Homo-oligomer: A and B are copies of this chain.
Amino acid sequence: MKRSRIRIRRDAFRHRHRPAGATGKSKKSTGPVLLVGSVETCPDLEYASGFRAPDPVVFLRTREKDVLVVPPLEFGRALRRRKAIEVLTPERVGVPAGKRRQMSEWVTRLLRREGIRRVGVPSTFPHGIAVRVERAGVRVRVLEGDVFPERAVKSAEEVRKISAAQQAAVIAMRAAVNVVAQSTVDANGYLRIRGARLTVEHLRETIAKALLDQHCFCREPIVAAGAAAADPHEAGTGPLRAREAIVVDIFPQHLEYGYWGDLTRTVARGAPSPAIRRMYHAVRAAQTAALGCVRAGVACRTVHRAAADEFSRRGFATRTQDGRPEGFIHGTGHGVGLSIHESPSVSQNETRLRSGHVITVEPGLYYPGVGGVRIEDTVVVTSTGWRYLAPCEKRFEV
């Protein structure tokens, strides 16, 4: 998935970026950290507790221990998931029977039980609960940046789980590209498959079914062709034509593991215009240049600059024309894990890559009236370079 999304998604709730020169290590105070949310709203909670909570739960990390408060029906399941954590129910933290549906009561009772007078919360913490906690005499401090900066560095187990999602993306990509490759071209230049026009919707269905077979799901894979692909947010619609660049961006979540993968290829059925072909070769070269810089210790902006410089060298300008940005209009990549977009952001910043970072490298070019090209792989950073999580061939004309 392209980087423009990321920036908004990941940074939307940040107040300040990590200071220049930060290495990605925690700069946080070591006070207690409080989280409230479900697997859908708070991936940090799953990361810290090892528990996938379908309904909102409360998590507290103090210097001494981790505590999880879950609904009574989840108690047994939560106990089984993780050993090094204290699992409680609202009843056990002393919430009176009439107030068991009020999550703010879960929180205030837990904090009182643990004797805590100050907590750090993420920026996304529910304001209504924060207000109640403060009213109960506990000071709530908003933590800047990532709550658990160490989340960006993946364990071998996490890499394995992200790889499963990435491998599913590869399988789905091959299925989609094969359909394009097997299509014929009618007199009007439209692609046809099994007697009907090949549409974006058809490709999206092919992708969804292939992912499902791998226990993965991607809500809306991007299949954007021709002029529409000039907008990296365009999910695409309608019939596909020959000689157009078709951007296929598949970002599945593994339904069991909860980890994501991210993969983009750009393909064309029949020879595209020289302009599009030049763009494709530039994007390939930019990805190669960026990957060539990836290794532990390198600043993210070095990787981003490598891609940007390759575009400049080839004469592809990034600028705003008639109020619309064009060229290399997004960052080079982003972290992938329990969120599709997480730290580190591989863009114009000083964050240094670390072994175990899992990042996308996805340069792209977008020119209104011409089209768009993006190529994206997800890799794990090592001390000497990087490794594909799941390699996938790069074919342009199919």
Chain A interface residues (CB < 8 Å from chain B)? 4-5, 7-9, 11-17, 38, 40-41, 54-56, 71-74, 76-77, 101-104, 121-132, 140, 142, 205, 208-209, 212, 217, 219-220, 231-233, 255, 325
Contact = CB atoms under 8 A, between A and B. Distances in A.
Contacts of A71: 4, 8
A300 to B, nearest CB: 15
B126 A55 contact: no
28 contacts: A5-B54, A8-B56, A8-B101, A9-B55, A11-B102, A12-B55, A12-B56, A12-B103, A13-B56, A13-B126, A14-B101, A14-B102, A15-B102, A54-B220, A54-B233, A121-B127, A122-B128, A123-B126, A123-B129, A124-B127, A124-B128, A125-B128, A128-B142, A205-B212, A209-B209, A212-B212, A217-B217, A219-B255
A56 B10 CA distance: 10
A229 to B, nearest CB: 13
Nearest to A256: B220
Contacts of A130: 127, 130
Given A13-B56, A127-B130, 20 more contacts: A7-B101, A8-B56, A9-B55, A9-B56, A12-B103, A13-B103, A14-B102, A15-B104, A54-B220, A73-B231, A74-B233, A122-B128, A123-B128, A124-B128, A125-B126, A127-B129, A209-B209, A209-B212, A217-B217, A217-B219
A339 B74 CA distance: 21
A11 B101 contact: yes
A396 B76 CA distance: 30
Residue of A77, A126, A255 most packed against chain B (CB within 10 A): A126
A369 B103 CA distance: 31
B127 A15 contact: no
B255 A220 contact: yes
A362 to B, nearest CB: 16
A17 B105 CA distance: 14
Nearest to A142: B128
Nearest to A133: B127
A101 B12 CA distance: 6
A132 B5 contact: no
A320 to B, nearest CB: 10
A8 B55 contact: yes
A285 B74 CA distance: 29
A397 B323 CA distance: 65
